[in-house]
Amino acid sequence: MHRLQRLALGITLSVVVAGCGSPKATSTPSATGTPTPTPTSAASPAAVHGGYAVLIGGASGDSYTLRTVDSSGKTVATVNAANRSRIRAGGAPAIVMPLVSASATHLYYINGNSEVRSLSVDGKTTLTTHLPGTATVQAGFAVSPDDTRIAVSTIDYAAHPAALRLYVENLVGGGNHVEIFSSSSSYVWPVGWEGTGLILASGPAAAQYGAGNPYDAINGYHVVDATTADRRSAICEPPSQAIGLIANTGALCAADAGTFVQSWDGARHALPADCRALSPTGTMAACGGAGPGVSTGAISVVSLDGSRTSTGVAGFGPIGWIDDDHLIFAAGANVSSDLELLDRRSGVATPLGHDLDLVARFGG
């Protein structure tokens, strides 16, 4: 079992954090820093309909496979790619930056240590740019929604301590290059964009355990200015942990004290402890599944107003969403077994396969 998205249950999360000792939150990449904003009310985001899920297989091997699946469960594009070099630091595996990034319309992925390619929904793959990754330097990236800019983090494990570099430049050609942060003690890597800001995963340079999300964000997320790295907010900070895919509006966080949605401005909204997957709009979460003493259970959807609706299916638990109407869940007895796609309107569940992880969604 590899380290990618394996802490799906709140009960499991609690054991891992308590048993392994989650690292203390590191300093934010910011010259000045700003306090977390006071929660404010905001208009409800528009519903998301349509789009694609990105499933990965074989991520712990020398190569991996990506499948782009539409809301009917049909695989519309598949690609095989070489994995990064395996790196260890101080006896522990290096953290695993995401292998993929999605813009509003395209999927991007790493082939080997440095090559970034795009995959369109018609199956066409194109070389886009190169990252400064090597056998001892891990590189991760996030492409802006409009496909114009790319944020890149590198961690040089040949340096002692490991050395982080974060920069932003044009996706094609590398122009308008801006170095925005460097550190040998604070480690962050881009996983998305929020307006003019970056969403950075935060964690140690290496760890014996993974995170409950596909970004290895062991210490949650920082939202920073994309040109200065000035901090705007901190999301899912320890002792809480970030769970599942991030949404357009925020992230799902879990801790012994409770589960909550935290928007990118820092505002929090409590949810039941069994919630596992935040919808793309952040207006509801898929909940239920396995729990103490049981390997499967009923899966439901909980809105932010607290109302709970049965989905009519059961399994290990929810994994993530394609859009507000289509939920991916593990129908078997563990997180990667027998993934299925539920159409909430018709109640029909379509098999997707097994030994897969959900790593991104886009479109819609």
pLDDT in tens, 281-335: 999 999 999 988 889 999 999 999 999 999 999 999 999 999 999 999 999 877 6
Average pLDDT, the chain: 88
CATH domain 84-235 topology: Lipocalin (2.40.128)
Pairwise CA distance, residues 187 & 101, whole Å: 19
**Confidence band (pLDDT; 50, 70, 90) for 59?**
confident
Neighbours of 2 (CB within 10 A): 14
What's the rounded mean pLDDT across residues 353-358? 93
pLDDT at 196 over 60: yes
Residues of the chain with CATH 2.40.128: 84-235
Pairwise CA distance, residues 241 & 301, whole Å: 21
How high is the pLDDT of residue 293? 87
Of 234, 295, 225, whose CA–CA distance to 11 is shortest?
295
How high is the pLDDT of residue 44? 54
How high is the pLDDT of residue 15? 25
pLDDT at 30 over 50: no
What SS3 state is found at 18?
A: helix
Q: DSSP per residue over 228-280, as a string? A: T--EEEEES-TTSEEESS--SSEEEEEETTEEEEEETTS-EEEE-TTEEEE-T
How high is the pLDDT of residue 333? 77
What's the rounded mean pLDDT across residues 198-213? 96
**Considering only 55-64, 136-145, 155-164, which range has the smallest mean pLDDT?**
55-64
pLDDT at 345 over 90: yes
What's the rounded mean pLDDT across residues 30-55? 55
Share of the chain above pLDDT 70, in %: 86
pLDDT at 14 over 50: no
Of 269, 322, 267, 321, whose CA–CA distance to 299 is shortest?
321
The pLDDT tens digits of the residues spanning 149-180 come to: 999 999 999 999 999 999 999 999 999 999 99
Instruction: Give the CA angle between residues 201, 276, 52 to the nearest 5°.
Output: 75
What SS3 state is found at 166?
A: strand
**Confidence band (pLDDT; 50, 70, 90) for 46?**
low
How high is the pLDDT of residue 336? 58
How high is the pLDDT of residue 292? 87
How high is the pLDDT of residue 38? 34
